[in-house]
Structure 1
Amino acid sequence: MRHRLIVPGAVFAALMMTVPASAAEPSPGAPGAGDAYYPAYGNGGYDVSHYDLRLKYQPKSDQLAGTATLLAESTQELSRFNLDFALDVSAVHVDGRKASFEVSGDHELEVTPARPVAEGEDFTVVVRYSGVPSEVEVSGFTSWHRTPDGAVAANEPESAWWWYPSNDHPSDKATFDVSVAVPEGYQSLSNGRLVSEKESAGWVRTDWRSNKPQATYLATLAVGKFDLTRSSTESGIPVVNAYSKSLGDEDGSARASVERTAEITDWLEGVFGTYPFDTVGGYVPDTGKSFALETQTMAFYGNERFKDGTDVSVVVHELAHQWYGDSVSLREWKDIWLNEGFASYASWLWSEEQGEGTAQELAEYAYSSYPADDEFWKVKPGDPGPENQFHGAVYERGAMALQALRNEIGDKDFFAVLKGWPSERSYGNARLKDFVKYAEKVSGEPLGDLFDTWLHTASKPAKSALGGERGERGGKPARPESWKEIKAVDGAHRH
């Protein structure tokens, strides 16, 4: 028999006064991560530690079915929480119990668990879903690219919505297991290491594992018919590259570029330090796109990128992102310079290494290419705004800022900064101001004015601000022969 405890009114009141504030009623997690550029991207109230995605895809019909299991920890008492997703959901379970859900807006999945999730509690979310991703548009765009023999999910700042539910913001990084079943005769690619491949009843299932934290937009999926090549870097890192079998005339130039991945990775280790992951590679699907994207460990290269011949610079750019952008990720999207400025400058350093124009010459040429009244100088790379997040100024003026920094603090401290930063911040997130403080600590010099001039001023800096002997003398330098390759990489995004 249950006995009811009778508590006198005065005693009850005293007890209630001792209840801590944290025992307040559970509340919904925020429908956004608080990013100034994209308020509805990501979500509040929890952090994801791991995504397990079990998928089945039919290339002919573009039909995708999946079960996503998310391991997460709550950061508040949750009565409800959101996931970012755009396909059709059939069921959601939280900690093994069926949860109610509804769609809000164009990519918000609101989940209400059967019981509230306590603050600091580890919990598991299982989402079953299906759909035809190519038929789904959000705000008039899609990040799902159909190919003659399959499809690719790759875009920035959003791509997850079309193939798995997530907390879609770079500030919430997680590890990934991606298992994909496709019909025999087709292949599937994703990030990280290929763990297993099995055939059963006319289907081939491959399992990929990313064992280091990865931002959601850096996860990629490709299905089609590919030719895979395998090698390794001098330090023993496995290299896997893949090329669509329908590339045609672009096949040779694509291979001549991407097959230099091992060589470039070895060189970048000398510039940025130890490669941060256990595999490296890239893939070239027949998407008809010209952009590239630093999808973690398996860079995406649109086949149109190689339409006019080899483009080694884009390979350098995307591989440099493995340190700057992937291992060390931006905290908010306004910090995009931490990704693109460094990857662009890496291409200038590669040109310098190859004897095709020094970084100083390239910086001077870029500087002189835009008159003072050009719109280029009105974009502030340190906070370009969502409409200019992938503007050429973020890439080129961003790279000029690094050359100015190099001239200011000297090669010894500059390259110590380039190598030390990815080590100090590995697998985490950072803001631009964090990098400025780090560069000041390493160099022992105040650098606020330099960064304000190049990253936060909507006008063309004085030529002397670039530094270097030639920069001081002024005048337009000769056009470097490699400029066609070195020029800023097209953004892999819809903006």
Structure 2
Amino acid sequence: MIRRQGLRAVIAACCASAVFAAPALAGAEGPGAPGAGDDYFPGYGNGGYDVSHYDLQLRYQPADDHLQGTATIVANATQDLTAFNLDFALTAKSVRVNGMPAQFSQNGLELTVTPSATLPQGEMATFVVEYEGTPSAADVGPVNPWVRTSDGALAVGQPEISAWWFPGNDHPRDKATYDVAISVPDGTEAISNGVNTRNSSLAGWTTWNWRNTEPTATYLAFMAIGQYEISSKTGAFGQPFVTAYSDKLGPLAGPAKASVERTPEVLDFLSQLFGEYPFSAQGGVVPSEGLGFALENQTRPTYSHLFFQRAANVSVVVHENAHQWFGDSVSVDTWRNIWVNEGFASYAEWLWSEAHGTGTTQELFDHYYNSYPADDPFWQVPPGDPGAEDVFHTAVYDRGAMALHALRTAVGDEAMLDITRTWVAEHRNSTGTVEQFIELAEQKSGKQLDELFNAWLFTKGKPAVSPATGVAASAARENVPEPAAVAEIDRAHELLHDHG
């Protein structure tokens, strides 16, 4: 993901105010925990159940930002469950569990549900929540990621967004499939993940049906509503390739299309490095307002129009589509592990540059290594454990990419390719940790890599030039020439410094 910085302070506040609750022991009768146990954001997600599918029936009126919905959630209890929580910011009108009315209460982002009978461990259950509200006005804490635009809305955000448009278990550990039906006034478009299965119109409203058949983290489910030019064609691997460009992009429409329409080419390139593309659809969305970052929404990244103000920008397309492997298919087990996502997505931009003759990965490493003096605060954020307030710090991206190049230098191209492909294959549709990645790297390379990983991921300060840290002597040169790719990569990353 490429982001702005505005959330940093409020992320820290959210983390400080959240109350940690350890999940109940499997098999113990009682309520599910109100958090998934994330060490950075202990209030995110919930315990006691595992969701397999969300069916969302939505009706949205752009004129007043009013959203009505019915969410049917298919889940399995992971303990004998007497009560459970859903993460939700709007107003629940009714809740049924297994067809029976359930008691419920709301406090902040927690919707607490008490079913009429205990849900036995291991058995399937359905939760049906009817709700409504004005998402842009939902006042449940210091952050409201919902974006209202002049012609619609954007449900796009990280690390949280889903609670502002559907109730769920909002943590990457609990992935699910989705059916999303969005009814909007005729003449308005509605885009989501996966495949557009059908559209229908009745009484002045058009319903857009989207199906996403691969397990997806809640924050990677998205919705874009407004005036869009939608194109459907065949993309890489014979898959549906759906793009949507705001009708209001004006002169930015050309460079936006010149970038996002190269997605199939980008995916073909990345699949040769990372292995089989993990999903069954692809595409991209470019709104014209309200968004100051790009996000790797599963199968359909969303890009701020700001990325294309100066020229076409393929680097940001490479970055967000690399996330389809690193972040979407293999997600963070907790948000502390964000480096695996952002390091690989940023390094993918370097690999694209190397393949297209605009700067080798070594040249780019040397450039960025020299761009930050040893006393720069940049080196005080360790990507392997950046802290909740610095989850999206520049160091997670740039130092993260440098760490991967250092690993490649230390173990060689063949081992690096083996590490990368094995990682995405073994953790597909699941999650992973930094520690698991380190273990795999040592196993596949046959090398002891403590000094390298400690220097790059866990120690404050600039790693020294040394074979043990993977820093080649060339990186210590003064006046390192700037590769041509730097301008585009920096344009792709510049919005990172405005939101975090």
Q: What TM-score results when the alignment is normalised by the length of structure 2?
A: 0.91
Q: Does structure 1 residue 182 correspond to structure 2 residue 187?
A: no
Q: Relative contact order, CA 8 A, sep 6+: which one is greater? A: 2
- Residue identity in the other structure for 1:479: E
Range moving further from structure 2, 328-337 or 146-155: 146-155
Aligned twin of 1:198 = 200
User: Where does the alignment leave 5 or more consecutive residues of structure 2 unmatched?
Assistant: 1-24
Shift of 1:437: 1.2
Q: How does 1:390-429 map onto structure 2 within 5 Å?
A: 390-429=392-431
- Residue identity in the other structure for 1:422: V
- Residue identity in the other structure for 1:370: Y
Between Structure 1 and Structure 2, how many residues are aligned? 472
Q: How does 1:265-304 map onto structure 2 within 5 Å?
A: 265-304=267-306
2:242 and 2:284 in contact (8 A); partners too: yes
Shift of 1:22: 8.5
Q: Does structure 1 residue 50 correspond to structure 2 residue 53?
A: yes
Distance 2:395 2:371 in 1: 12
CA-to-aligned-CA distance 1:439-482 (integer Å, 9 cap, x gap): 122211122221111000011111333434623x6334111222
Distance 2:423 2:479 in 1: 33
Aligned twin of 1:377 = 379
Shift of 1:330: 0.8
Aligned twin of 2:259 = 257
**For 1:128, what is the secondary structure of its paired residue?**
strand
CA-to-aligned-CA distance 1:198-230 (integer Å, 9 cap, x gap): 112211111111111000000000111111223
Shift of 1:344: 0.2
Aligned twin of 2:137 = 135
CA-to-aligned-CA distance 1:354-411 (integer Å, 9 cap, x gap): 1111111111111111111111000010010010000000000000000001100111
2:236 and 2:267 in contact (8 A); partners too: no
1:155 and 1:492 in contact (8 A); partners too: no
Aligned twin of 1:342 = 344
Distance 1:220 1:100 in 2: 29
Percent identity (aligned)? 50
Range moving further from structure 2, 116-125 or 372-381: 116-125
Aligned twin of 1:368 = 370
Range moving further from structure 2, 302-311 or 75-84: 302-311
Aligned twin of 2:13 = none
CA-to-aligned-CA distance 1:240-286 (integer Å, 9 cap, x gap): 11100011121111111111111111111111111110111110012
**For 1:463, what is the secondary structure of its paired residue?**
coil
CA-to-aligned-CA distance 1:141-174 (integer Å, 9 cap, x gap): 2211112210010010000011000100001111
Aligned twin of 1:154 = 156
Q: Does structure 1 residue 81 correspond to structure 2 residue 84?
A: yes
- Residue identity in the other structure for 1:126: V
Distance 1:293 1:422 in 2: 20
Distance 1:445 1:408 in 2: 9
Range moving further from structure 2, 301-310 or 345-354: 301-310
Aligned twin of 2:243 = 241
Aligned twin of 2:324 = 322
**For 1:452, what is the secondary structure of its paired residue?**
helix
Q: Does structure 1 residue 30 correspond to structure 2 residue 33?
A: yes
2:59 and 2:69 in contact (8 A); partners too: yes
Aligned twin of 1:124 = 126
Distance 2:84 2:375 in 1: 48
Distance 1:38 1:421 in 2: 25
Shift of 1:23: 7.9
2:353 and 2:361 in contact (8 A); partners too: yes
1:372/1:194 CA distance change after superposition, 3 Å: same
Distance 2:485 2:470 in 1: 21
Aligned twin of 2:390 = 388
User: Where does the alignment leave 5 or more consecutive residues of structure 1 unmatched?
Assistant: 1-20
CA-to-aligned-CA distance 1:185-206 (integer Å, 9 cap, x gap): 0111000111111112211111
2:27 and 2:79 in contact (8 A); partners too: no
Aligned twin of 1:467 = 471
Aligned twin of 1:485 = 488
Shift of 1:493: 9.6
Higher Cα radius of gyration: 1
Pick aligned residue for 2:65 from 62, 67, 72: 62
Pick aligned residue for 1:430 from 427, 432, 437: 432
RMSD: 1.7
